[in-house]
Amino acid sequence: MMKKCFLLLAGIAGLIASPVLADDRYQSRPPVIVSPDLTAPWINQLGGARVQPVVYPRAPAPVVAQQQPRGLFAPRVVHPLFGGAPVQQVAMGRPGIPAIQGHLDPQFLPQVVDYQTKERPGTIVIDTNNRFLYLVMEGGKARRYGVGVGKPGFEWAGAHTITRKQEWPDWTPPSEMLSREAAKGHYLPAHMEGGEANPLGARAMYLGSTLYRIHGTNAPWTIGNAVSSGCIRLRNEDVTDLYDRVKVGTRVIVM
């Protein structure tokens, strides 16, 4: 008898609790926030409006397909942006600096070209319209590199000297950039230590007392385009090569 009473009470309790549980089951959950910038590393996040994403320009990281000893050439890599096709190996300025090639127009690869100018050998001349940086050499020659330049509204021209050089530089975005990107929904870090993910890349050469630099990049596929906030960017292996060829005091002409 007591067993029957217990089962009856349990059944009544279940009938009473079921609607409550059912209502709770179908209550609304916190929204899923999807970034409008699908290249951001934080595409999906849970937690509603309290989420404060921190992003910086970055593409999917290469996946090492076949590791080789460190030396003149970079490891053979497969890059997610290019359908998993192997990426061609390229010479590196320094061991350990990633090199990604295969999607870059060959004209933007480093090469020695004929170049007539009145500027002295050792001068850097940057042709922003054609996206080339020239390091003037003797005998009417120049070493030419492909570069990324300022996007529309951020173009500039002038003459400066290199006042400082830095390997694997830190990045502190100016307040104007922080505000500008925040208005577009992109929240940049106030400071980032140097490294492979840093937008300034492997090397930086600072121009005069300005905020402009010649520097590397963590986005080598942007070389040949107008994409920056005024700085001149090169592939990491190219900026490392240039860095070793120039010194503080080098004249830089941007036109």
Q: Which residues are catalytic?
A: 215, 231
Nearest residue to 199 (alpha-carbon basis) of 178, 212, 186, 215: 215
Element (H, E) at 175: helix 175-183
Cα–Cα distance, 145 to 177 (Å, whole number): 27
Nearest residue to 244 (alpha-carbon basis) of 209, 216, 207, 212: 216
For residue 207, what are the CA distances in angstroms to 60, 102, 191?
30, 31, 20
Sole residue written with tokens 């209502």 = 23
Cα–Cα distance, 151 to 43 (Å, whole number): 25
Q: Determine the longest span between alpha carbons in the chain, in angstroms.
A: 111
